[in-house]
């Protein structure tokens, strides 16, 4: 114990301190995951809309070529 730095009992973490910190971290992680999910979902929707528009344009062009 001689190699430990000198601390007071006020600097020692309690179970309540750890629980509050864990709760805070879970809340932050949940917010980050939600933001990432929404970003990826928006990216996928944009890609699908672009793909559908391009495919529709090709189909219209192909139909016009048919006599």
Domain count, the chain: 1
User: Residue 1 above 70 pLDDT?
Assistant: no
Res 66: pLDDT: 87
pTM of the model: 0.60
pLDDT, the chain, mean:
91
Top-confidence residue, 50 or 66? 50
Q: How many CA atoms lie within 13 A of 54 on its CB side?
A: 6
Task: Return d(Cα 45, Cα 39) in angstroms, integer.
Answer: 10
Res 10: pLDDT: 78
CB 8: neighbour CB atoms within 10 A? 6
Structure tokens at 53: 């528009």
61 within a domain of the structure (yes/no): yes
Domain containing residue 59: 14-65
User: Residue 15 above 80 pLDDT?
Assistant: yes
7 within a domain of the structure (yes/no): no
Task: Return d(Cα 24, Cα 21) in angstroms, integer.
Answer: 5
For the chain, what percent of residues have pLDDT higher than 70?
97
6 within a domain of the structure (yes/no): no
């Amino acid at each position: 114990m001689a190699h430990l730095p000198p601390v007071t009992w006020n600097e020692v973490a309690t179970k309540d301190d750890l629980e509050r910190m864990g709760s805070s971290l879970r809340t932050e992680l949940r917010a980050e995951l939600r933001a990432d999910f929404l970003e990826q979902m928006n990216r996928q929707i944009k890609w699908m809309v672009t793909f559908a528009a391009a495919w529709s344009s090709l189909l219209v062009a192909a139909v016009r070529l048919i006599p």
